Every structure is written in C-alpha cells, then in structure tokens.
C-alpha cells in the first residue's frame, strides 16, 4: 500500500501558491512603478502569421505618443520619478530571485 504524506503535499501546494502570487505581485508592482517613473514600456508590433491580429505602425506610434504625453504630465518630481524607477527594477530583481531560487530548489534538492 502506498502512503501519502498529506502534510508535505499541503506544504508544497502552499509554497507554490505563495511563490506564484509573489512573483505576479512584484512584477505588476514593478510595471506600475515603471509607468509612474515616466518610462512606460511600449512594445513595437511583431509580425505574426494568420491567427494573431497585430496593431499597425500607426497605432504603435499613437501609443508611444500617448505614453510620452503621459510622462510629461506626471505630477511627480524628478526625484520621485527616480525613486519609482529604482523601485521598479528592485521589484523585477525580486521576481528574478524568486524564479532562480525556485529553480535552484528543484535542481539542488532533487
């Protein structure tokens, strides 16, 4: 008969759930801070075949122009923007550390 350690199962489940929520939370916070710092990430359209609708160059230019306008209208001071920018990359570093830590746990403890 196979014995299942349910407590260990619950521990792994909770660790995975908390880890995933933390990565999503810090990534979203990092993007928010990046936008508040006046450096909104504008992604140029890529060319795909068939199934995916891609925005046109005109729409991409309009989005970039709107992001630049929003950055100029920001009520934050230059110092606050700099702190938001540093905080954004700090959040991205926490995400990277969580992912690398998870991979190391799998590789080293396996």
Question: Distance between CA atoms of 41 and 61, rounded to whole angstroms?
Answer: 13
The pLDDT value recorded for residue 62 is: 87
69 vs 5, higher pLDDT: 5
CB 39 within 8 Å of CB 85:
yes
The phi, psi pair for 87, rounded to 5°, reads -65, -35
Say how many domains are in the chain.
Answer: 1
The answer to whether residue 6 sits within a structural domain is no
Q: Is 69 within the bounds of a domain?
A: yes
- Taking only the tens place, the pLDDT of each residue in 40-78 is 776 665 665 555 666 777 887 888 888 777 767 778 788
In a domain, 48, yes or no: no
Residue 4 lies in a domain: no
Domain hosting residue 60, numbered range: 12-42+54-109
pLDDT of residue 100: 93
Angle between helix 78-109 and 6-36 (nearest 10): 160
How far does Cα 104 stand from its chain's mean position?
21
pLDDT of 86 reads 95
């Amino acid at each position: 008969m196979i014995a299942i350690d349910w407590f260990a199962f619950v521990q792994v489940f909770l660790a995975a759930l908390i880890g995933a929520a933390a990565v999503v939370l810090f990534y979203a916070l990092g993007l928010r801070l990046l936008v508040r710092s006046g450096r909104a990430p504008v992604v140029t359209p890529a060319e795909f075949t068939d199934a995916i609708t891609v925005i046109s160059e005109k729409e991409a230019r309009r989005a970039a122009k709107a992001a630049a306008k929003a950055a100029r209208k920001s009520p934050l001071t230059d110092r606050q923007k700099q702190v938001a920018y540093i905080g954004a990359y700090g959040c991205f570093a926490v995400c990277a550390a969580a992912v690398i830590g998870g991979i190391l746990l799998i590789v080293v403890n396996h």
